[in-house]
């Protein structure tokens, strides 16, 4: 399995910082072109007014932002539109092969991308995580983050080294989880306890292994379902579990805990000892994109240190733009340090490519869990 950590992602930053802004001709071309609109379909909460306004000011292009809440929502909408309606989409890298399979995104023209702005290890490792299919690149890596343990610091304090996915499933827990990814978190806990019949990663490469492994996970999940007080599918639902529904622990995205903490709520975020579920995301261009110039202009602008820092400050999700980490707020730096102490970065568990057959069977197990 490919292992990437933030230290590895940042390792080449200093060496490339000097050339990161050395290819401004594409941005100048976009500004000279001026006007126009670019339609962006991205995760809810990713693009705020500050980011959108800064892009428009830099390029003269008007960005239109449409939010979605899940990877499946994005895929289904694009399939319904036959790859049309948007100039850019923002899938997680492990799902990119699904879009290629259905002919929904187009190979990128790498000559139009300012590759030097991307952390070298993010660009290189994204190849094996799903960004490149049959030798063609379909996504530019722009950010990465994790799904780990959010917790009430007053009612259910947790510490690194002992915090575990098992905390979600123990008797008396008041937990919130997402259906399909909670099965993976539970699987990692069971694997660490020696209770899986074979390595969890086998489920992503072998359909028979997936059934064998998920049968064990599902049985355990159903037996412990009473500890789950709310399931979530999107950011608003995950936040609501803590804000109004009494959750004191949850398997959530980093951005969920960061948003709650920014409101003054006593919510922390910590990597479990089994390893935080890590994902990389990026920008892809649908086959029906109407404004290719605007799409490439946004990609290159978003990879500037200033844009990357704006994005991280707003979401607490980590930018892959070279130099952006030097511009992030003290709040963002503190959140990162608290979430990944000790050897947490070395233990990140990166989502493998999720092929369509895996997604289909995964959803069947999720539905059985939710309806049990």
Per-residue confidence (pLDDT) for residue 35, from 0 to 100:
56
Task: Please give the torsion angle defined by the CA atoms of residues 334, 340, 346 and 347, in that order, rounded to the nearest 10 degrees.
Answer: -160
> Does 56 map to a domain?
yes
Cα 150 to Cα 365: distance, rounded to the nearest angstrom: 24
Residues 37 and 177 in one domain: no
Same domain, 76 and 121: yes
Residues 175 and 221 reside in one and the same domain: yes
Clarify whether residues 226 and 308 are in a common domain. Answer: no
Backbone angles phi, psi at 88, to 5 degrees: -145, 145
Q: What number of residues does the chain have?
A: 372
Do 154 and 76 sit in the same domain of this protein? no
pLDDT band at 156 (very low <50, low <70, confident <90, very high): very high
Mean pLDDT of 190-202: 98
- Is the pLDDT confidence value at 16 over 50? no
Query: Does the residue 112 lie in any domain?
Result: yes
Residues 28 and 168 in one domain: no
Is the pLDDT at 4 greater than 90? The verdict is: no
SS3 for 122?
helix
Instruction: Give the pLDDT band (50/70/90) at residue 10.
Output: very low
In a shared domain, residues 52 and 67: yes
Answer yes or no: do 151 and 270 share one domain. Answer: yes
Residue 322 in domain: yes
226 shares its domain with 325: no
Whole-prediction pTM? 0.87
Q: Which residues contact 260 (CB under 8 A, 6 or more apart)?
A: 150, 239, 242, 243, 267
Regarding whether 354 and 229 lie in a shared domain, the answer is yes
**Both tokens assigned to 103:** 């002919």
Residue 219 lies in a domain: yes
pLDDT of residue 28: 43
Task: Please state the domain count of the chain.
Answer: 2
Q: What pLDDT does 340 receive? A: 97
Find the domain containing 265 and state its range: 146-277+348-371
Q: Read off the pLDDT of residues 107-150 as tens digits, 9 standing for 90 and up.
A: 999 999 999 999 999 999 999 999 999 999 999 999 999 999 99
CATH number, domain with residue 352: 3.40.190.10
User: What's the mean pLDDT in 283-308?
Assistant: 98
Q: Is the pLDDT of residue 256 over 50?
A: yes
β-partners of residue 270 are: 149
**What percent of the chain shows pLDDT beyond 90?**
90
Residue 189 has pLDDT above 80, yes or no: yes
Predicted confidence (pLDDT) at residue 32 exceeds the cutoff of 60: no
In a domain, 11, yes or no: yes
pLDDT per residue as tens digits for the range 333-368? 999 999 999 999 999 999 999 999 999 999 999 999
Does residue 1 sit within a domain? no
Q: What does the mean pLDDT of the chain come to?
A: 92
Q: Are residues 300 and 329 in the same domain?
A: yes
The Cα-based distances of 346 to 111, 179, 276 in angstroms read 33, 26, 10
Same domain, 262 and 358: yes
Residue 168 CA: distances (Å) to CA of 45, 217, 227, 296, 362 = 26, 14, 7, 42, 20
Inside any domain, residue 218: yes
Chain CA centroid to CA 59, Å: 27
- With 80 as the cut, is the pLDDT of residue 8 above it? no
pLDDT of residue 298: 98
Query: Is residue 87 domain-resident?
Result: yes
Which of 163, 141, 184, 146 lies closest to 5, judged by CA?
146
Residues 149-166: what's their mean pLDDT?
A: 98
Rounded to the nearest angstrom, the gap between the alpha carbon of residue 277 and the centroid of all alpha carbons in its chain is 9
The whole-number average pLDDT for the span 249-264 is 96
């Amino acid at each position: 399995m490919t292992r990437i950590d933030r230290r590895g992602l940042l390792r080449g930053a200093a060496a490339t910082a000097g050339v990161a802004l050395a290819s401004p001709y594409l941005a100048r071309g976009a500004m000279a072109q001026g006007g126009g609109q670019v339609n962006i379909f991205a995760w809810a909460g990713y693009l705020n007014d500050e980011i959108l306004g800064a892009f428009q000011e830099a390029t003269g292009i008007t960005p239109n932002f449409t939010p979605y809440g899940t990877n499946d929502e994005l895929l289904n909408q694009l399939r319904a539109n036959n790859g049309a309606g948007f100039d850019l989409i923002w899938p997680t890298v492990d799902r990119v092969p699904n879009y290629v399979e259905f002919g929904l995104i187009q190979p990128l023209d790498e000559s139009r991308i300012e590759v030097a702005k991307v952390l070298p290890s993010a660009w290189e490792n994204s190849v094996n995580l799903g960004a490149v299919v049959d030798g063609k690149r379909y996504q530019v890596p722009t950010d990465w983050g994790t799904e780990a343990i959010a917790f009430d610091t007053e009612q259910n304090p947790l510490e690194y080294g002992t915090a575990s996915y098992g905390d979600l499933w123990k008797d008396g827990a008041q937990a919130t989880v997402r259906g399909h990814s909670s099965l993976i978190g539970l699987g990692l806990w069971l694997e660490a306890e020696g209770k899986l019949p074979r390595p969890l990663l086998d489920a992503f490469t072998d359909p028979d292994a997936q059934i064998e492994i998920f049968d064990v996970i599902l049985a355990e999940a159903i037996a412990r379902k009473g500890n789950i007080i709310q399931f979530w599918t999107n950011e608003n639902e995950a936040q609501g579990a803590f804000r109004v529904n009494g959750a004191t622990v949850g398997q959530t995205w980093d951005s969920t805990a960061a948003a709650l903490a920014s409101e003054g709520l006593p919510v922390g975020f910590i990597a479990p000892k089994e390893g935080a579920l890590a994902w990389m995301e990026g920008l892809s261009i649908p086959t029906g994109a109407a404004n290719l110039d605007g799409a490439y202009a946004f990609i290159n602008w978003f990879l500037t240190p200033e844009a990357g820092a704006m994005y991280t400050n707003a979401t607490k999700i980590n930018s892959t733009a070279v130099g952006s980490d030097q511009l992030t707020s003290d709040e963002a730096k503190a959140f990162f340090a608290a979430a990944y102490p000790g050897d947490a970065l070395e233990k990140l568990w990166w989502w493998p490519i999720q092929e369509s057959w895996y997604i289909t069977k995964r959803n069947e197990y999720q539905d059985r869990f939710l309806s049990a």
